[in-house]
Amino acid sequence: MKKIILIILTLVIMSLIYNETKAETIIIPSTAIRLRVIPNSNSYLDQNMKNKVKNYLEENTYQLLKDTDNIEEARNLITKNIPIIEDNIDNLFAQNNYDMDYEINYGYNYFPDKEYRGIKYDEGYYESIVISIGKAEGDNWWCVLFPNLCLVDLNEKDDVEYRSWVSEIINKIF
């Protein structure tokens, strides 16, 4: 009898743990704009440059779109500023003696399934800016540019706070 109770108790605990860690699906609206940087490879040099591009984009796209709550305005600002993004990436590469071609594609680009901090982001084609460096075969970085979910202070938030914050931002904008 003790074995049966122990087995049932174990199954109940495992079920609770599974349900607690299972990813919540929050649908990113079709009117969101994503951002992705794909480095040439996973070499230290290529990943380092990806991170420099990422840091530049985080700082500057936040400033660019921080007061924007309209998708059309966001699209216009992005389109107008692509040449500035290109110039700044060129400068980053030159400052670091990094001789690699890259491409910026603003349009509908494929994103694979992603689970991050308890939220499942579905695969599909999304309006986005994708910066592909060289062969674009390295581990990428991505975020949701509009509404801006790129600058979440992840060190201060646990998964529940993050999910709540993402839901709040999406519901506010859309």
Q: How confident is the model at residue 106 (pLDDT cuts 50, 70, 90)?
A: very high
What is residue 3's predicted lDDT score, i.e. its pLDDT? 57
- Per-residue pLDDT at 104 exceeds 60: yes
What is residue 27's predicted lDDT score, i.e. its pLDDT? 62
CA atoms of 51 and 135, how far apart (whole Å): 17
- Per-residue pLDDT at 16 exceeds 60: no
| pTM of the complete model | 0.74
Average pLDDT over residues 90-96: 96
Q: Beta strands of the chain (E only): which ranges?
A: 24-25, 33-38, 102-111, 114-116, 119-121, 124-133, 141-146
CA atoms of 174 and 169, how far apart (whole Å): 8
What is residue 67's predicted lDDT score, i.e. its pLDDT? 84
Burial class (CB in 10 A: 0-12, 13-18, 19+), 25: exposed
- Per-residue pLDDT at 57 exceeds 70: yes
- Per-residue pLDDT at 129 exceeds 70: yes
CA atoms of 173 and 24, how far apart (whole Å): 20
DSSP, collapsed to helix, strand or coil, labels residue 69 as: coil
- Six-digit token string for 141: 């970085």
Note whether 77 and 63 are within 8 A (CB): no
